[in-house]
Structure 1
Amino acid sequence: MALRESDPAEVGGYRIEDRLGSGGMGVVYLARSASGRRLALKVVHAQYADDDEFRIRFRREVAAARRVSGAFTAPVVDADADAPRPWMATLYIPGEDLGTHVRRHGPLPPAKLRALAAGLSEALRDIHRAGMVHRDLKPANVMLAEDGPRVIDFGISRATEFAASDVLTQTGRVMGTPPYMSPEQFSSPQDVGPAADIFSLGSVVAYAATGHGPFDSPSPYETAMRVVDGTPELDGVPDELLPFVRLCLEKHAKSRPTPDELLALLRDGRLPEPIPADEDTRPVHVPKRRKRLWPAAIALGAALLAGVFVATVAVTPEAAAPADLPSGWQAWQKKSRDPSVDKEPVGPSNPFNRCAATGRSLVCAGDDIMATRFALADGRNTWARPIDETADDLGGSSGGTVIAARSGRVYVYGADDRPIGGDGLSTTRYTVQALDAESGKVIWKTVTGEGDAATEPNSDRGASIALPDGVIATYGDESKYYALLGADDGRVRWKRPLPDPENQPCLLRSAARHAYLVCAVFTGTDITSTSISQLDTATGKPSWTVKVKGDVDLAGQTDGRLVLARALGTHRTLTLINAKSHVLTTVKLSESQPEESSVHLVRGTLYFTLPSGSVRAVDPSTGRRLWKTDSTVEQSGPPVASATRLYLGSPSGRVAAIDVRTGRVQATRAGRDDGGDLDLLTTGITAAPVLVGDALYVPYGVRSVYTVDVRHL
């Protein structure tokens, strides 16, 4: 890159030879020392040079960077925090950066990927031991030098964040590169610690393996949304590195491994032995992140391939990890207000069928409630909306569900019963709505169908799904179409006909940020096969279709493969479809599972839950049963899991916490008797508990929720 007239001839006695690049923090030059050694010399922009606080922090960070081993950082040769424009010189690392290399030559082969993962883990281990955090690990900061990859560009990013003159900081904007930032860098940048670097490491390795980041999007806003709430796109990551990447990309900082644990995983194919729970089955409360339990289903046969790396760092001492609870959290129990026009109960009362958290809100739906909001911290029930908002409410609906909740919005559906004529007849108009989770305000509302032949856009029944692009729902008065309603305004982006609504009923499903159409194929009165089609979200057209024998449904995706289980009958096999090659594999279960089992794919493990409270964990890739236990939770809803525990809740509010590694019931909490008159014989879907850090929110009874700190179950 050619020098400009405004560029200096020398800085600090070092002759400037070329301009290597520039960014928001400063300009980087290729310089030469008196002995002929080539240096990378970064000169800070003038806007930071005028800030005294910046200079103090810059000076501290230069000193801290010198403490890191020369094997893992570009050694600091010289620096001057008191110069008119502060500067720092490090050894120059020739070669392409990782981003440029992948764009020119494609993803790295498996052997080089393992070396990259091991080398970065070693680099972060050394950086964190020196009391520093990188905060901006990304492909552009990883150089592929002749003697191995190294990380560059350090000592400035943290200092500039605290510069009083920095307009970005003053306006509350976060700093970093969105596709490679951690969730906490968006939600609570003041609390960012070493675990943020681990998340970035997972994103960098995924990029090197696939040529794209796991949360890439054309929109920075949508990228941030995917980082905080979305599922990473890991298709193309080699199977042996998937456990490594997935552990790095855990949403909660305390659930991520340390560099030492990652190196053990690469070397031995497993993480260090966990600390066992006490014999009286109470969970171990461990305040430090490095002492947590880990799932055992990690198979990684990669040998440790050491690499020499240099790290870009900024000072952020690690503090003891506090309880991971929403700000201001306290234990609470609340019941939603009744928002319906007709206050007289119609039919039996039911619990919520789904709740979801976003921002500071827990939003629930079901039993005639379209949506109701509880504050995560104290349970204040600030608003509630009925499923039917017309003034002439005819009652009789027990519907309502949360289609999705993300980035402060919640997607729900409405079912307005409207009188026609004067004979007491009515028709129902269905809508999908986007609400502001904090205020309950309707952001947009789109009619999807009206009349007896229209389909209720209920996600629980496969009639709608939510993706980052918006909501895909069955559409039209005769339910002959499916359509994408844009996330921003609810307008129909495209509309496509269903294959054969009368003779080939279809369900809308989603997995790993992709939409699928699952259609039953009849021969006479029997379902003889099922077609699975991935939908192109840009057009709605099927990208590919695979036909599977029998009646199956999509449980989700893990390790790059869709997992399908029988919709009806005894479970004896699973069907796996490679999401990239579309190759179909049948996996025999080591133990048949009863017809009454509900099937749930959670964090890569398949769980079969029975009304009696029995739970069986199965490895979907092999069909092998991992464990079987009696959860003591009857008629449980879908389970939710952290990295170490599986949680189940019953309609009465009973909860069990199960070790995902062994199946051992570690803790239980009895049901509650303050949830109203619940008719358990007619109870349908029970909402899954919602886990926000260490806070578990348990829907139960009639429109009721309570919360508990899972460390003290």
Structure 2
Amino acid sequence: MPLREDDPESIGGYRIESRIGTGGMGVVYLGRSASGRAVAVKVVHTQYADDPEFRARFRQEVKAARRVSGAFTAPVVDADPEAALPWMATAYVSGDTLAQRIADQGPLDWPRLKRLGGELAEALREIHRAEVVHRDLKPSNVLLLESAGGADGGDGSGSGDGGMTRVIDFGISRAAHSDVRTQTGLVMGSPPFMAPEQFSSPRDVGPPVDIFALGALLVYAATGRSPFEAENAYLAAYQTVHNDPELGALPEALRPLVMSCLAKSPQDRPTPVQVLDALAALPDEGPTGATGSATGPSARRPRRGRRFKVVLASAVALVAMIGTGVSAAFLGGTDSGAGGGGTDAKAGVPAGWRPWHVAAEKDGDDMMPSSEACTPHAQGVYCASPTTALTRLDPLTGKVRWTKPMHRPKSTTGYSVTGPVVGAGTVFTYSAEGSGGVDAYDAKSGRRLWRLPGPHAEFQYLSGVLVVHKGELSSSRTSTYTAYDPRSGRELWHHKVTSDSPGAFYAGPDGTVFADLRIAPRKGVPGSSEIARYDARSGRKLGGTKAPKGDLWLATVHDGKGYFARWENDSGVSSRFFIQDLTSGKVRGIDFPWAVEPEAPPLVRGDAMYLFDYANETVLALDLKRGKPLWTTSRELRIFSEPSVRGDSLYATMPDDSVIAINIRTGRERWRSAAPSFKDATDTNNAGGGSVDDRSPSGVAPLALGGVLYGVTDEGTFSVAAKG
């Protein structure tokens, strides 16, 4: 892969020649030492360099890779985990991954299959002797040397060479006694090559998980498929835990060994030495004496694109979303209830609409993410930035209809930018004078209706009123919340609320709001577990219920039900949701197939809940009636935004800023739009700067209005036509 303009010329004294690949954590370059030695240099992405947890993981990767030696791993040559951009150099291995080899040439013949199993077992023996567990042994982490066939005379016997196999990428490995454990809720591994315990107890896995992966790799190398192949990650996880492996045309002589490697219980799997002994007992030629493919004649399979290794360890800042529903038509519509509004995509696009895109406003540095925050709505796309209080883009053309300039003093620092909030024909944003107050504008004309002097911590449009968290955020558990009429600015009520939740109020049904009044007990002070219900206009308390016990985040309230996520040891990830009827208090739970990182509230529509897992860039759909997962999107799709649902389609933005439509019943892709281009004549990179892997997923879901979809990313704002 050729170098880009922003790629370095050298790293740690190694001259950079080309790119080998890129992934979620960093870029891998081909480099040369002063003596001409070829090395693979892995450099961490900029956004992770200041993340202490990520640096700890990278130090662990370097330490683990240095501890491992042997003929079948790529040794570490040099590293600097404390550099501004941490990096590690390993001996360069020229060759294809096992995934590429199988895609290009089909399954391995018997001699090479047997040899692959032996060399993988020897590699694991050395890895485990160093008290390291790889945890992500998969086809793309196994390299097959280009010279292997020639070096051994072409017969795959392996005599007289250093082996054809190299195990690479210790990015999620750990030492057996390491204190650095999974903290971000990533799916640590790659279905369908993960052992059952990696789903059920990911923090307690040991060397047997690598043996399980070895068994799965042998099936893959012999048949072109994993023994737990599935349409999506959830089904692969389910089959791994509950179903027997599908061995396909795996040679009979290998089946007993592979089945023992794929045992559900870790204690029932062999050690690397036992695998070597079992392979040594097998004949050098296949069961029929042939040296052709282990599966017989095999059609050449097309090359597939390289899969991104999706690891998103940094937190993603969320842009405020629109408060309730959207209107049924462009321009001049009125707000509807939650989940309502908008015409179906099949209704077609409005007259005069054309696809458009507007690059995000930059804060003086083209390589920094945009500081602009935008909210799409039926009456327009509204944007705020440190230099512009509010801008309205025409939803038909993307042209600026009006702009409200910023009047704050130049000395003002720490100005907060959030996505404008739209409701009741009004747009709310932080005040133009920079005090942290709230300005209310007419959504169509841009006329300012009223101003609330600040500073204020946050504001939300909930159940027909604007609820303002008065004053700045502080360490106090007691805050004042005041509700205002959205058009006149008249104060409706105020409550002094004591809560451990930074944002206490949530929209409820039938003109109500809920308040999270839970507080943890302190010495001499009793706690509270109450979720209270108020009339949104009068502020009168209507009732309350006790929330479920435990360290739970009230992620969202929908249709009178509270959705609580259970944190895993304060890690910010969750493997279980609790759903409570906030009138009766009845509670039920839903287990996830793995620990997810729900950075934003889930989307509830009908009897389904859709949750964007930031860490793995997937959408997880759950059946709320049965309390079971429905499907997940494939990690190869790489969902890059919060989802939205309209009709029977789920929409999400992709890394290239295209929009994908997914069938909400099956999780399968229906179509995707063309990607808008944010490039200009002076910029060879995207407007957001850097590669896709330098960017963060969007906190704004695509908005479907009629036959048009509106998207917001750090690149900019765009509209595209829905396809069906």
Q: TM-score, normalised by structure 2?
A: 0.46
* Larger RCO, structure (CA 8 Å, separation 6 or more): 2
Q: TM-score, normalised by structure 1?
A: 0.47
